[in-house]
Amino acid sequence: MTLAIVVAVVAVALTFDYTNGFHDAANAIATSISTRALTPRIALILAAVMNFVGALLGQKVAHTVSDVISTQKLSANHGLVIVLAGLVGAIVWNLVTWYFGLPSSSTHALIGGLVGAALVAGATVHWHTITDKVVVPMIASPLVGFLLAFAMMLAIMWIFRRRNPHRVFRGFRLMQTVSASALALGHGLQDAQKTMGVIFLSLVISGHASSTDSLPLWIVICSASAISLGTYSGGWRIMRTLGRKIIDLDPARGFSAEAVGATVLYATAYIWQAPISTTHTITSAIMGAGATKRFSAVRWGVARSILVAWLLTFPAAGTAAALCYVVMRHVFQLP
């Protein structure tokens, strides 16, 4: 029974990774498509490749995710069902927000799902990890993204103030290939590792691995492949929200947003080891870069809807996961 549940967790985790890919594909490429720096198909191929490469570049975020909950007081089967319910809850919220075109956070959906299932099941939630590695970065990363993109765009406007705007935009349109690639690499570095962490957690719970082990290569390759396939499938609804509905971006502002977003992703992955939201980071960076036109240029009504989705993600995914756990507990006949 234990091995069967582990296989189920791995399959559902990779499904979540796939939905993460098509849900968050817009994060890396929406700005490049909206400014016509890249065609949609080329952008998707580029994002898929860079997502795969980024997933191979680290494991620190994965180990952080695997430390969010502990099921040592429960049986192996019970612990695995908690993880399975957390994943299903996250997938449900991903699909709901994808349907309505809202760029919510797959990261917070996953963490919220795990915590929601763990609380109902009576497992241990490591609140210090949640606070230090999730809540603080959740608040800080959008603020940093907004301010840095705003400052970077002001600097660009000052440096190129006497240049021909058409030539400047042509140059930044080319530079967006680099910035979009960097952002997609950061997305793979951050988001694929979260799935790796959940799969690794299931191996630790089932006794197939120790918490101090390095991640097996098969977990890394499978997670990288799933998120890349999901990215290639695209997320056109969310692309429209990020690329057009928040603000009409020009190439310079698109480059600023992508460059800042990538920088924040790398810094938090390697220095803070925190699983931050790529969605939060790039959306706030788009707003920051766009606000340099004038604050009224940003469609704050759309931004408000996105903010509501952000705030709802953690509790909504947690609630969905808790309900899934109640059902699964009866299905697997747990005590």
334 inside domain: no
What radius of gyration, in Å, describes the C-alpha atoms of the chain? 20
Which tens digit of pLDDT belongs to each residue from 25-71?
666 677 777 777 777 778 778 888 888 898 888 778 888 888 889 88
> Nearest Cα to 286, choosing from 53, 54, 103, 94?
103
CA distance 51 to 257: 18
CB 157 within 8 Å of CB 268: no
62 inside domain: yes
45 inside domain: yes
**Token duo for residue 35:** 């400014």
**Token duo for residue 143:** 């603020």
Q: How many domains are contained in the chain?
A: 1
31 inside domain: yes
Tokens 């036109």 correspond to what residue?
293
333 inside domain: no
Count of residues making up the chain: 335
pLDDT band at 221 (very low <50, low <70, confident <90, very high): very high
Amino acid at 317: A
Q: What is the DSSP string of 221-277?
A: HHHHHHHHHHHHH--HHHHHIIIIIS----HHHHHHHHHHHHHHHHHIIIII-----
Specify the pLDDT at position 298.
Answer: 65
197 inside domain: yes
Which tens digit of pLDDT belongs to each residue from 151-182?
999 999 999 988 888 888 888 888 988 888 89
> Nearest Cα to 226, choosing from 32, 37, 87?
87
234 inside domain: yes
pLDDT, averaged across the chain:
83
Which tens digit of pLDDT belongs to each residue from 87-142?
999 989 888 877 776 667 778 889 999 999 999 998 889 998 888 888 888 888 88
| Residue numbers of the domain that contains 237 | 2-328
335 inside domain: no
